[in-house]
Amino acid sequence: MCGIVAYVGLKPCQTLLMEGLKRLEYRGYDSAGIAVIQDGGLHVAKAVGRVANLEDRLESIGNFHGTTGLCHTRWATHGGVTEINAHPHTDDKNGIAVVHNGIIENYAALKTYLEEKGHVFKSQTDTEVLAMLIGELYSPAEGIDLEAAVQAALREVTGAYAIAVICEKEPDTLVVARKGSPLLVGVGNNEFVVASDASAIVAHTAQAFKVDDYNVVKITPKGFRTSTINNVPVTPKIEQLELELQEIELGGYAHFMQKEIFEQPKALRNCFRGRMDVRESKVVLGGLNDHAKELTKARRTVLVAQGTALHAAMIGEYLLEDLAKVPSRAEYASEFRYRNPIIEENTVVVAVSQSGETADTLAALHEAKDRGALALGVINVVGSSISRETDAGVYLRVGPEIGVASTKAFTGQVAVLTLITLFMARRRFMSNEQCSDLMAELDRLPEKIERVLESDAKIRKVTERYIGKENWLFLGRGYNYPTALEGALKLKEISYIHAEGMPAAEMKHGPIALITDGMPAVFIANKGKQYDKVMSNIQEVRARGGHVIAVATEGDNEIRKYAEDVLYIPDIPEPLSPMLAVVPLQLMAYHAAVLRGHDVDKPRNLAKSVTVE
Ligand code: AGP
């Protein structure tokens, strides 16, 4: 959602804070701000737009030199994109500054209470209410220092938060706290770097601990104290950060999305490494061994997720039913959690998420666990909230994903769901041979993706041909219906072209009315059980003047007669084909965004991880 970086130590911290904030910009980028304590006072600067605008502002007002500070990059929830609404927010009497990621749900009631006490608000945000409340409770004379004031304020708050707080009356103190939104404390020599995720910390230290829910950490250059909001001491576990700096560098690519598309072969090799024992035709998923019996007896699986992760979950649904014979369904987590779901005995709920922080998916997981389901996670970010709240799970191991438009995490999620399916299927109905054959095909998948990536230039050319078109359709059947949804989502979220994905058979039940001359219709038409059906659907579009772009199997010359453009992928068994067929769609979306001059890695109105409902 938003990105937070804070520092307390012995050196001037502006540069460190700005560098960290730029690494977190994928979390939200509509405005940014910084506050430091120097010369006995609080100094604040804010700017609308990118962190670069804030740097320009600091340049113009004279850079800060304080050694205690915090900063923030925003994804607006309460109040428009203005300088006033940008963080940090301050109180009106004690020189207290707060940055916040999350939502204070009862802010309106607290605001009324504080207005009755005479406080005057400048912004429309929920966060300013928190700053005022901390200021109202702050009373060193009565022994209520900054830490105690933050604890007291958070006992009044409902909602989700990760916050950092400083006060000009305690120049060497930084107080941070968390409930729901992620927050890490990086431990250095006489200095501490606090951030929403590791990418803003790894350049300074590899030692860090996660702040747990309802925990508050008081930090000075000399050390830190962790306690609950009720002031019960807590001892956090300091761990080695797994992230390396080069993983979060562009590495010669123009955009992180492009880098992550081209990293997919390597990412999938990492994902499969040590997990496929072809000789024993066994899938090895250490994280699931303790629940192997329950998984063998599973009577139903429900997969919960949002966005791209949901499209991967939908392919998981097809795989589990088709190959493991487990009744399965993929659901919007946001719908699942509020529709009073029926969770019978031996139900397995699988939460699929790249970030592991998506609030809707986390809440759906809680709902399922409360109703007795075995809760599994298919997650990329190690140690994320969802991964810590599941009973067991499998990490994607595809490396950090920075581009807001998810790509390698999608193929990684489908790959892991395929492994989980084989893990269950081998314990239910699947033969050695069938399992070995599929594992052998999985082993060959990275090289097949490399072959598709070699046709990048051709895919760019095809995209150029339709770049002026404002409405596109994406169509697929069976395993590749969710792939069509994913292709449409990728195009929408980074090129801002309106696109609709749907089962190819559904078109004639209405959407076919949208087809006009030259309208691009992307079909996933690789060889498979429903190939002939897809060909009929292609004819329906052509008959109405639509232009067909077909993703087809190498060697299929027949399809050339019916499609304006054909993007070939190597032959592959149908259940595995989504991981291959999606690659040309990812590249088309990427090139469309570049050709339209959009900021590919930070598309408008989006954020990499959505930590509020
Ligand atoms: C995909 O490109 C988007 N970034 C978005 O739809 C994303 O998939 C969704 O928000 C779920 O995120 P998660 O995988 O981190 O839970």
Q: Which residues make beta-bridge pairs with 45?
A: 34
- Strands lying side by side in the sheet with 239-240: 41-48, 31-38, 68-74, 3-8, 192-195, 184-187, 207-210, 239-240
**Residue located via tokens 């990105």:** 3
Provide the H-helix boundaries in 72-170.
Answer: 107-116, 126-137, 146-155
Q: Which residues make beta-bridge pairs with 548?
A: 521
Q: What is the pLDDT of residue 22?
A: 94
pLDDT at 458 over 80: yes
Report the nearest-CA residue for atom 6 of ligand 1.
307
8 Å CB contact between 219 and 176? yes
Ligand 1 centroid vs 2 CA: distance in angstroms? 15
pLDDT at 383 over 80: yes
Write phi, then psi, for 593 (nearest 5 degrees): -70, -40
548 vs 317: CA distance, rounded Å = 28
Ligand 1 centroid vs 390 CA: distance in angstroms? 19
The percentage of the chain sitting over the pLDDT mark of 90, rounded to a whole number, equals 90
Nearest to 220 by CA among 191, 249, 250, 247: 191
User: How big is the CA angle at 175 (ends 171 and 181), to the nearest 5 degrees?
Assistant: 145
**For residue 284, what are its two tokens?**
């090895």
Ligand 1 centroid vs 56 CA: distance in angstroms? 31
Rounded CA Rg of the chain: 26
Exposed (0-12), middle (13-18) or buried (19+): which is 596, by Cβ within 10 Å? middle
Report the nearest-CA residue for atom 5 of ligand 1.
307
Q: What is the pLDDT of residue 188?
A: 96
Active-site positions?
2, 608
Neighbours of 346 (CB within 10 A): 17
Strand 565-569, strand 547-553: pairing:
parallel
Residues at CB less than 6 angstroms from ligand 1: 306-309, 353-355, 358, 361, 404-406, 493, 609-610
pLDDT tens digits along 392-425: 999 999 999 999 999 999 999 999 999 999 999 9
Please give the model's pTM, rounded to 2 decimal places.
0.88
Q: Which of 306, 401, 407 to mutate to test the pocket of ligand 1 (most atoms within 8 A of CB)?
A: 306
Give the up-direction half-sphere exposure of residue 100: CA atoms within 13 A in the CB hemisphere.
27
8 Å CB contact between 96 and 174? no
User: How big is the CA angle at 212 (ends 359 and 330), to the nearest 5 degrees?
Assistant: 25
pLDDT, mean of residues 365-394:
95
Closest atom of ligand 1 to CA, residue 307: 6
Q: Three-state DSSP class for 465?
A: helix
Nearest to 180 by CA among 357, 24, 353, 56: 357
Write phi, then psi, for 542 (nearest 5 degrees): -60, -40
Ligand 1 centroid vs 44 CA: distance in angstroms? 33
pLDDT at 43 over 90: yes
| Confidence label for 248 from pLDDT (cuts 50, 70 and 90) | confident
pLDDT tens digits along 197-244: 999 999 999 999 999 999 999 999 999 999 999 999 999 999 988 777
71 vs 354: CA distance, rounded Å = 25
User: How big is the CA angle at 455 (ends 450 and 460), to the nearest 5 degrees?
Assistant: 130
152 vs 158: CA distance, rounded Å = 13
Q: Which of 406, 492, 609 to mutate to test the pocket of ligand 1 (most atoms within 8 A of CB)?
A: 406
pLDDT, mean of residues 491-499:
97
201 vs 248: CA distance, rounded Å = 12
Report the nearest-CA residue for atom 10 of ligand 1.
307
Q: Three-state DSSP class for 188?
A: coil
Q: Three-state DSSP class for 300?
A: strand
Question: What average pLDDT does the structure give for the chain?
Answer: 95
Ligand 1 centroid vs 198 CA: distance in angstroms? 19
115 vs 134: CA distance, rounded Å = 14
pLDDT at 76 over 90: no
Closest atom of ligand 1 to CA, residue 610: 10
Write phi, then psi, for 310 (nearest 5 degrees): -65, -40
Ligand 1 centroid vs 410 CA: distance in angstroms? 9
Lowest mean pLDDT, pick from 112-126, 237-251, 363-377, 453-467: 237-251
Report the nearest-CA residue for atom 16 of ligand 1.
353
| Run of H or E including 19 | helix 14-23
Q: Which of 310, 355, 606 to mutate to test the pocket of ligand 1 (most atoms within 8 A of CB)?
A: 355
8 Å CB contact between 26 and 402? yes
pLDDT tens digits along 265-280: 999 999 999 999 888 8
Ligand 1 centroid vs 363 CA: distance in angstroms? 15
Q: Which of 26, 304, 308, 353 to mutate to test the pocket of ligand 1 (most atoms within 8 A of CB)?
A: 308
| Confidence label for 249 from pLDDT (cuts 50, 70 and 90) | confident
